[in-house]
Amino acid sequence: MGGNRYTHSDKERAFRIFYETGSLSETTRMMRKSLPHLSKATIAAWSEQKDSRGKTWFERRAEIQAAHHEKTDDQLSSDRKEILQNAQKFRGRLLEQLPALEAKSLEGSVFAFTALSKFILEQSGADRDSEQTAREAVTSLILALKDDAEIATLLERKWDEIEKRFYEHLQRAQKGSSK
């Protein structure tokens, strides 16, 4: 059933096809393109033979897939961590610049800061329903801005207008996220 008619290279090529397809029938069909006399029984026998580590094709495939998934999970975790670190650094730079911004750019920056804070909270898993936490972050930001005498005067003078625009932006953002 196979004897020495087929090489180790043939068997490994068949395993690679089996690894991709998970099917002995498909492996046989594809291998027959280059080895027309290869039987499904031979492929089945190869799949049951243990390799130098004592693994069948099914065991090798499962082991490789598990290692691949673990590597993918590690990469996703690393990518997510990097995104969060960059977002937090950007949020820090934005917060440092807030006191020097003019009223028009201040409004946009506060909106960006809020959105960024909400994103960081959601992605970090710190708060799955982060709307309340985002509100708290905005309140904290406004209180921090009020600590600056120059900004506090501006906030007090324009508060009604800023509050109105803030709620308009909030409503648009909520409508956008509900779509």
pLDDT digits (tens, 9 = 90+) for 150-172: 777 887 787 778 777 777 777 77
* Interval 10-26 mean pLDDT: 94
Answer yes or no: is pLDDT of 121 > 70. no
Yes or no: say if 45 and 1 are a contact pair by the CB < 8 Å rule.
yes
Instruction: Work out the mean pLDDT of the chain and round it to a whole number.
Output: 78
pLDDT digits (tens, 9 = 90+) for 77-101: 787 787 778 777 777 777 676 666 6
The mean-pLDDT minimum among 23-37, 56-70, 80-94 falls in 80-94
3-state secondary structure of 45: helix
- pLDDT-based confidence at 70, cuts 50/70/90? confident
Scored b (16 or more CB within 10 A) or e, 49-79 reads eeeeeeeebeebbeeeeeeeeeeeeeeeeee
pLDDT of residue 4: 65
* Alpha carbon distance 97, 110 (integer Å): 11
Number of residues written out for the chain: 179
